[in-house]
Amino acid sequence: MARFVDEARVFVRAGKGGDGAIAFLREKFRPFGGPAGGDGGKGGDVVFEADEGSLTLLDFKYRPVLIAKNGENGRGKGQHGRSGDDLVVKVPVGTVVLDEATGEVIAELLADGQRAVVAKGGRGGLGNKHFATPTCRAPRIATPGRPGEERYLRLELKLIADVGLVGLPNAGKSTLLAALTGAKPKIAPYPFTTLVPNLGRVITDLGQGYTVADIPGLIKGAHLGQGLGIRFLRHLARTRALVFVVDIASDVETALSTLKQELEAFDHSLLERPSIVALNKVDLVTSDVVADKIAQAKLMGLGDVYPISARYQKGLAALVEAVKAKVAGLLASSNVATGV
């Protein structure tokens, strides 16, 4: 599988416009045929196109400079120069393009096939035929083509998932993703097994369902760079709901408050997102402990609490339905809001 790369820096330069030409018509029977310099062609744009087939920004590590073609210069006999070809570059769906210098978001490519011009080609110059006037019938003026836009861009990939799994390392997020979806993430009995996000799709009804992202585990201080840090939290930006996954045999209250703090430090609006709590590994504890931990978890105010065993596939149906209700409810209300 291709290495997952979710950030890249790239230099883009659009094509320069071709220069306008200075030329005169000199034909056998029209010795003073007048100015006939054609215009320069427009420089090519650099265009990004979202493509479902590309999954990472890895290509940009190998190809960090993107330059579109220049427009051709104008020629005699009123011929215009040809426009430079646009350079169309495929990027994964979910790519956000920022101007590195200003931090401004230039484009968000969210749907397959969506395009955005990230550097605009320069206009072609005007040939001398534009400058003829009654008093100056043989102008020796033409304008040069304009330079193409150029800048450094920062690309960030935000996976597009409906639901994000958030938890401390080793809580069983990847096991849960594997149990719910066809995904086969790496699972192991040690922390930080997951180094890059994994995606899978839960199928609920015929053809229906939602996508789930399993992101690397968080630890206290992640927002200060501890563990793998919080850079992967950006993948939660577009989720509609969060599932907090906690090992029921651990200190549930501390785990949930750590997760809350880390999300808050990254982007406090994440805590306003609908969420539920999955208390995983119920197979390891007695039913008294389960009841006790459910009560503790409820007090943390992160939504309804579901006891599950991802490894032994217990309690998953109820969890799937609860998540579906959160996601579906949101879809319905966003449709109302946008009048669709």
Ligand X SMILES: Nc1nc2c(ncn2[C@@H]2O[C@H](COP(=O)(O)OP(=O)(O)OP(=O)(O)O)[C@@H](O)[C@H]2O)c(=O)[nH]1
* SS3 state of residue 151: strand
Half-sphere exposure of 197 (CA within 13 A, CB side): 27
| Minimum CB–partner distance for residue 185 and ligand X (Å) | 7
- Total number of residues binding ligand X (CB under 6 A)? 24
Answer for which of 70, 95, 174, 258 binds Mg ion (CB under 5 A) is: 174
User: Pairing between strand 87-92 and 46-51?
Assistant: parallel
Instruction: Give the shortest CB-236-to-ligand X separation in angstroms.
Output: 14
**Of positions 79, 193, 250, 257, contacts ligand X by CB under 6 A:** 193
Helices 316-338 and 173-180: crossing angle in degrees, nearest 10, is 80
Q: Which is nearer to ligand X, 210 or 232 (CB)?
A: 232
Is residue 194 a contact residue for Mg ion (CB under 5 A)? yes
In the shown chain, the binding pattern of residues 126 to 165 toward Mg ion, with x for contact by CB under 5 A and - for none, equals ----------------------------------------
- Applying CB under 6 A, does 318 fall inside the site for ligand X? no
Q: How far apart are CA 259 and CA 236, in angstroms?
A: 13
Q: Which of 109, 213, 310, 316 binds ligand X (CB under 6 A)?
A: 310
Choose from ligand X, Mg ion, none: what does 34 bind? Cβ within 5-8 Å by kind.
none
| Residue 114 to residue 52: CA distance in whole angstroms | 10
Helix (H, G, I), strand (E, B) or coil at 12: strand
Length of the chain: 340
The minimum distance between CB 290 and ligand X, in angstroms, equals: 12
Measured CA to CA, the distance from residue 173 to residue 78 in angstroms comes to 67
What is the Cα–Cα distance from 112 to 155, expressed in whole angstroms?
A: 17
Could you tell me the two tokens for 60? 């940009």
By CB under 6 A, tell whether 281 contacts ligand X. yes
Closest distance between ligand X and the C-beta of residue 302, in Å? 17
Question: How far apart (Å, rounded) are the C-alpha atoms in residues 2 and 228?
Answer: 20
Among 78, 144, 147, 191, binds ligand X (CB under 6 A): 191
* Total residues interacting with Mg ion, rule: CB under 5 A: 3
Q: Any contact of residue 167 with ligand X (CB under 6 A)?
A: yes
